[in-house]
Amino acid sequence: MSEKVRVALKWLKGLLDGENIEYQIVGGLAATIHGGSREIADIDLYIHNSDANRVLAHVSQFISKPLTRYTEYGWDLEYFQLVYQNQKIEIGLSQNTKIQSALDGSWYQLEIDYSASVEKDYQGILLSVIPVHHLIEYKRILGREVDLIDIQELTQSAAP
């Protein structure tokens, strides 16, 4: 893992833990934590919608995309983006998030189950991460090139 990812994760976890905010790491970082090998582009995570203002109160100087609803790249969700020491962090609000099927263009409600999160140690940082089977499930729907790479690696590493 790159040093900038580690530094940003440590900072972010400190902020979330300090405010007692429940979160779930998803996306490429979650795939890497579960055994994938792609380089980490950004840190993706979800928080409860009701916690957004508590996070925003601490991060105004790092905001690169304001909190609003975005419909892009197969996603329809509310999120905001931070850049902390050159590391991009995207924090999504978990309620009313939809993903688009690459197969037929239909939209699916994405349910983030915080109670199912698995605690994983990643480079000495204990994180709440989406379970691998949930990650694979939503990546199969999205079906982007990066998702297909992650699915292939994660299903191979899960094979006996």
Class of domain 3-154: alpha beta
Q: What is the largest CA-CA distance in the chain?
A: 47
Tell me what pLDDT residue 156 has.
85
Tens of each residue's pLDDT in the chain, 160 residues: 589 999 999 999 999 999 999 999 999 999 999 999 999 999 999 999 999 999 999 999 999 999 999 999 999 999 999 999 999 999 999 999 999 999 999 999 999 999 999 999 998 999 999 999 999 999 999 999 999 999 999 998 555 5
Tell me what pLDDT residue 148 has.
94
CA angle 123, 7, 62 (to 5 degrees): 145
